[in-house]
Amino acid sequence: MNGGGATPQIQPTAAAAGHGLSVEGLTKRFAGGDVAAVNGVSFSIPVGTITTLLGPSGSGKSTILRLIAGLEHPDAGRIVIGGVEGTTLSPQKRGVGFVFQSYALFPHMTVRRNIAFGLKVRKVPQAEINRQVDDLLTAVELAGYGDRYPGQLSGGQRQRVAFARALAIAPKILLLDEPFGALDAQVRLSLRQWLRRFHEERAHAPGVAPVTTLLVTHDQEEAMELSDCVVVMNEGKVAQMGAPQEIYDRPASPFVASFVGGANLLRGHIRDGRATVGAFAVAVPQGEKPEEGAEVHGFVRPHDVKLTKAEDEAPAVSVARVERLALMGAYVKVTLRLPDGGTLVVELGKAEIAALGIVEGDRVLADLQGAKIFVGDYSI
């Protein structure tokens, strides 16, 4: 759903009650800001799923999380948590757990006491606290670590303690603000796998409520691997919402096409009913009949480009030159110099490069039929 303007009056919706979380027309301006940090944002999250807010810095992701948690108050819009109106509730009454990038653990408390903190504030009996903490330590794979202090744990272990503390209060919604951002690549990967596994186990565990999670990240790989649904944000609005593969394969706008997946951008015009971008002619989207000469933007992902070695007699206007080959582990990054002086980045497997037999300086033909074409004058 695309974000629009502020919505002063919003009536309850049946759809909101059927989801773990719904936000409708959410808008927030900060003092001195010329543009709304969050501008008419609407989306819903089914119970038990992981939804990710993905976007560049300043797109409104963390502000949305803080609005849902009650740490900021919206200027307009509605927040419905588990079918219950939560827009004006205090943070303590919203039923949300919050995990920060910085862990925010109490360094002077043991792991057990950190996890138990929210339960003690709620005056849960000690025997029940002990049982729940034991269960959570097992769930986050830290059984036996309860008597250690945060300073005695690795970064990944501390973050799992933060997850356990957030889950201890049995939240309706788990809010994660860049929870893996401070960790090294291997630990991030391990924790992503753990979170996905934890979600699936809770979804099928008898007598245990599933966890509904809203994650904020700018890491595209993280969003694609973890999420059931991705909400792409740009300038305080929803640019596109859908399953990860839908976002990747069918971007709804030039911004989404350029932001998700690291696509090459090629500019051109309509010539004889086709999009001519540089030396390439690509079919326009089905159903569109743009005017001759209309401006177009083409986006093609590096792994969607097919290369063949150019014959000697191939006209120079259609031939690219291999400027650089860079081995990137399992694949080779090929930088092409196009006839118009522009560049095109291609990714091919090592075996494919060997079969083609291309080296730096070779002339090649590039097939861009996998390009996504947008007709019109867009600001990227």
- Can you tell me whether residue 88 is helix, strand or coil? coil
Distance between CA 368 and CA 163 in Å, rounded?
Answer: 44
Average pLDDT of 65-78? 95
Q: Is the pLDDT of residue 139 over 90?
A: no
pLDDT for position 317: 60
Average pLDDT of 138-156? 91
Distance between CA 228 and CA 220 in Å, rounded?
Answer: 14
262-375: CATH class:
mainly beta
Q: By percentage, how much of the chain surpasses pLDDT 70?
A: 92
Q: Is the pLDDT of residue 6 over 50?
A: no
Distance between CA 41 and CA 21 in Å, rounded?
Answer: 13
CATH topology agreement for domains 14-95+171-255 and 262-375: no
Q: Are 218 and 177 in contact (CB under 8 A)?
A: no
pLDDT for position 355: 92
CA Rg value for the chain: 25
Q: Is the pLDDT of residue 17 over 50?
A: no
Q: pTM higher than 0.75, yes or no? A: yes
Phi, psi values for residue 221, rounded to 5°: -60, -40
The crossing angle, in degrees rounded to 10, of helices 155-168 and 185-204 is: 30
Could you tell me the two tokens for 23?
């936000």
Given the structure tokens 């079919």, which residue do they identify? 283
Give one DSSP letter per residue of 99-146, joined into a string: E-TT----TTS-HHHHHHHHHHHTT--HHHHHHHHHHHHHHTT-TT-T
Angle at 288 between CA 287 and CA 289, to 5 degrees: 120
Give residue 369's pLDDT band: very low, low, confident or very high (50, 70, 90).
Answer: confident
Domain ranges of the chain: 14-95+171-255, 262-375
Distance between CA 240 and CA 251 in Å, rounded?
Answer: 8
Give residue 315's pLDDT band: very low, low, confident or very high (50, 70, 90).
Answer: low
Architecture of domain 14-95+171-255: 3-Layer(aba) Sandwich (3.40)
